[in-house]
Amino acid sequence: MRLFKTVLAVLTAATVVATPADAGQPRPPSDPIGALLAAYDTHSIVAKSSPDPGPFVFDLVRDPRFPGKVNDIAVECGNSLYQPLLDAYISGGDVADVSHVWRDTTQPSCGFSLFYEQLFALVRQVNTTLPAARKIRVLACDPPIDWSRVHTPSDLEPFHDRDASIVSVVKTQSLQKHRKVLMLFGLGHLKHDGGSAAVAQLEREYPGAAYVIADHYGFTSDNARLEKGLGSWPSLTPIQGSWLGALDTAYFPTNREYPPGTRGYPGVDAYLYQGPADLLLREPLSARAVLDTEFLNELRRRAVAVDAPPDGLLWPEFFFERERASGVLLHG
């Protein structure tokens, strides 16, 4: 997983779609949370890219309508080995240190994620207000790695297929139990046309199960003009049937090539706008993790154990330097 994405591609020849006539004009208040929750009327999964460039997910979980629609939240930054620990914490139990759930995944950047640290605490608090039958469960979907047993690169090999782990958890814990699930992962795991991506795999057995939402991080070209068409924020715009669906695919950060003339955002059903790209903030690091010398030393041990290159994200020094040099704005 990456803490953030910078997605500016070179656009050569793309069809220009006219900006809507009311672009930039006041519009009636939108209800993007209601629109997202309505997707559960026809889908078992709503899959949204994460972490958030804004407060949308936290507002969603706080919304009183949420527990009536959603049973589970499946997350990328969660080691499935610690699912019992996570269950105890989310249900309000007295847990000494739940941070192992997101610090001990296959992705070292998860260990510094303030988004997930806050999300787990928020769901726990929401659950205190709910009856037992409606309490929300959080599903840790990263492979069940035990880092205390990783001493060589070969020890890490069985845990490389993260999509397989995501599929197994969501299938057995949500879909087979006829539960509704919110999936929070990098978009590469979520697109319908993603080949081996988790959602694409799940839909081979459960066709049409997912409604996929991509966050706006900026169009690849002519961004200022096109953003006006998105109007006020937050807003959730379906791709099909909207001007976004008529837009040349090259305007979207797809990270792959499509045949000339392809329209819309392939593999995505809706587009979440939380503000102009040049005002979006990077995910802040968790001060608790940054100041935990025991955790940092364990990350260094892991880096040595798997022969991580010195310019790799397994090394906290390299990770911190990258964050320091990046600034606080996604496109600043």
Measured between alpha carbons, how far is residue 199 from residues 29, 47, 205 in Å?
A: 31, 8, 10
What is the pLDDT, as a whole number, of residue 153? 96
What is the pLDDT, as a whole number, of residue 19? 44
What is the pLDDT, as a whole number, of residue 332? 66
Say how many CA atoms lie within 13 Å of 242 toward its Cβ: 14
Considering only CA atoms, which of 171, 101, 186, 182 is closest in space to residue 137? 182
Q: Residue 180 corresponds to which tokens in the numbers above?
A: 């509704």
Single pTM value for the model: 0.90
Considering only CA atoms, which of 91, 101, 40, 45 is closest in space to residue 68? 40
Separation between Cα atoms, residue 328 and residue 54, nearest integer Å: 13
Domain coordinates of the chain in residue numbers?
42-326
What is the pLDDT, as a whole number, of residue 14? 34
**Region of 33 on the Ramachandran plot (φ > 0 left; ψ -120 to 50 alpha; else beta):** alpha
Q: Return per-residue pLDDT of the chain as tens, 332 residues.
A: 333 333 333 233 333 344 444 444 444 457 999 999 999 999 999 999 998 888 999 999 999 999 999 999 999 999 999 999 999 999 999 998 999 999 999 999 999 999 999 999 999 999 999 999 999 999 999 999 999 999 999 999 999 999 999 999 999 999 999 999 999 999 999 999 878 999 999 999 999 999 999 999 999 999 999 999 999 999 999 999 999 999 999 999 998 889 989 999 999 999 999 999 999 998 899 999 999 999 999 999 999 999 999 888 889 999 999 888 888 888 76
Alpha-helix residue ranges (DSSP H) falling in 104-251: 114-127, 153-156, 162-173, 198-205, 223-228, 243-246
What is the pLDDT, as a whole number, of residue 228? 94
What is the pLDDT, as a whole number, of residue 329? 87
Q: At what angle do helices 198-205 and 162-173 cross, to 10 degrees?
A: 40
Considering only CA atoms, which of 56, 70, 48 is closest in space to residue 210? 48
Go through 115-127 and write b for each residue having 16 or more CB atoms within 10 A of its CB, e for each that does not.
bbbebbeebbebb
How are strands ordered across the β-sheet holding 72-79?
Answer: 137-142, 72-79, 181-185, 45-49, 210-215, 270-273, 235-238
What is the pLDDT, as a whole number, of residue 195? 87
What is the pLDDT, as a whole number, of residue 316? 94
Any idea of the CA torsion for 211, 40, 26, 6, to the nearest 10 degrees? -30
